[in-house]
Amino acid sequence: MSIEISKPGTDLERHPVPDPGLEEHIERWTDVDKEAGDRAYRQVLLMLGAVPVLAIAFVVIYFAVDRTSVVHIFGLEWDALTFWLGMTGGLATLLIGLACVHWAKTMMGDEEIAEDRHSAASSAEDRALFAKEFAKGAEQSGLGRRKLIGGALGGALGLIAVPAVVLFADMGPWPTAEMRKKTIERTIWAEGVKLVNDVTRRALKASDLEIGQLVNAQPESLWEHHGTEFQIEKAKASIIIVRMDPDRIKIPDSRKDWQVGGILCYSKICTHVGCPISLWEQQTHHLLCPCHQSTFDLSNSGLVVFGPAARALPQLPITVDADGYLVARSDFTVPVGPSFFERDSSGDFKEGDR
């Protein structure tokens, strides 16, 4: 309840060495030696005196130094304005602080003072007084006799929170089954959509790809979308196209016609937390996510071989159109990207599937 106090020398078990009391005050050099004291005084004045000089330098630099100029310091190239404004402003600020601390440490009184501490708790009288006052108030409120008011008020206060919470129901569209089908469970890939290089936007032919090559691609229809719409679609539709030697990879029966002569197409969005995967190990046919190092085997339907991802990379069924361009045969057969609770993951490719 209260602070443990034992008088010096009375409780030898608690304090085998009795408290000797505060240490003797030893005077500082700056107190006993006038010269040392004066030196500290001058140091403080010097530090504070440098501040206006640095402040003026700051203003001059702000207006005089060209925004594009650079300085070379320690073999590194610095933006001159950032560097000099920071050096002058920073030093000026630092010197104010150092001057104050130096003043306090060398010149202000340094005798230690002991102040009594009181228990954090109120005194027994205060508690009794409070209880009495509380009882008076409680009596006046009439809650003792008309108990229902308390419950009713509590209920009312609790329920008034409901409208406040409901007010936020429009923060986003509700991910109902129907909404999910229109959003996170589909991409803009569809039958006949051309696969185009994501930088040049050129449609790709099977002959454009050599064995071992990886191309980052997008659906040709992506650029029909603009602004945030574009970003949303790109975050799902991004793909990678790889060409591997058909004799060195496993193509399950169900996916025989998803590829064109060893050209396979996978979602670029990691099934872990959605980073765009891009590190391609040509010899092992492994694709590594640079964010969390999940590794997928593209020669085996995108199965996870290492890392925290739990599901195979979704594969996009592709074929060639009449002009020889690579096109999608449909949308992805499963939702791309990271897992979500309502995701039906029974359609994903698993080890041993045919």
Partner 1 sequence: MAKPAEVSVESPALDSERPPKSGMPAGVTGAATWADDRLGLASLLKKNLRKIFPDHWSFLLGEIALYSFVVLLLTGVFLTIWFKPSMAEIEYEGSYQLMRGLPMSEAFASTLALSFDIRGGLLVRQIHHWAAMLFLASMTVHMLRIFFTGAFRKPRELNWLIGVGLLGISLIEGFAGYSLPDDLLSGTGLRFVDGLIRSIPLIGTWAEFFIFAGEFPGSLVVARLYMVHILLVPAVLLGLIAAHLTLVVYHKHTQYPGAGRKDGNVVGYPLFPVYMAKAGGFFFVVFGVSILMGATMQINPVWNFGPYNPAQVTAGSQPDWYMGFVEGAIRIMPNWEWHLGSTTWSWNVFLPGMGLLTGLFVLLGAWPFVERWITGDDAEHHVLDRPRNNPTRTGLGVAGITCYAMFWLSGGNDILATQFRLSLNAVTEFMRVAVFLAPVVAFIVTKRICISLQRADHERVLHGSETGIIERSPDGGYSEPHRPIHTDEKFMLTQHAQGKVAEVTPATDGNGVLEKGAGVSKTRALASRWYHAGVIDKPTADEIAEADHHANGHADGHDGDHQVTESETSGQISR
Binding to partner 1, residues 76-115 (CB under 8 A) = 78-79, 81-83, 85-87, 89-101, 103-105, 108-110, 112-115
Is the Cβ of residue 141 or residue 345 nearer to partner 1 in the bound state?
Answer: 345
Which residues between 127 and 166 bind partner 1 (CB under 8 A)?
none
Q: Are 264 and 242 in contact (CB under 8 A)?
A: yes
DSSP secondary structure letter of residue 313: P
In sign, the C-alpha dihedral spanning 103, 105, 106, 111 is: positive
In angstroms, give the least distance from the CB of 337 to partner 1.
8
| CA 92/CA 57 separation, integer angstroms | 10
Binding-site size for partner 1 (CB under 8 A) equals 113
In angstroms, give the least distance from the CB of 11 to partner 1.
10
| CA 260/CA 283 separation, integer angstroms | 20
50 is a site residue for partner 1 (CB under 8 A): no
**Contact range with partner 1 by CB under 8 A, out of 125-133, 138-146, 156-164, 272-280:** 272-280
35 is a site residue for partner 1 (CB under 8 A): no
In angstroms, give the least distance from the CB of 224 to partner 1.
15
194 is a site residue for partner 1 (CB under 8 A): no
Region of residue 301 (left: phi > 0; alpha: psi -120 to 50; beta: else): left
Q: How many CB atoms lie within 10 A of CB 7?
A: 9
Nearest partner of 104 among 22, 49, 43, 54, judged by Cα? 43
Q: How many residues does the chain have?
A: 354
Alpha helix locations (H) across 8-33? Answer: 29-32
Looking from the CA of 138 toward its CB, the CA atoms found within 13 Å total: 10
200 is a site residue for partner 1 (CB under 8 A): no
Q: How far apart are the two ends of the chain, measured CA to CA in Å?
A: 72
**Out of 22, 56, 60, 149, which residue is the one contacting partner 1 (CB under 8 A)?**
22
In angstroms, give the least distance from the CB of 286 to partner 1.
11
**Out of 259, 267, 294, 315, which residue is the one contacting partner 1 (CB under 8 A)?**
294
196 is a site residue for partner 1 (CB under 8 A): no
In angstroms, give the least distance from the CB of 53 to partner 1.
15
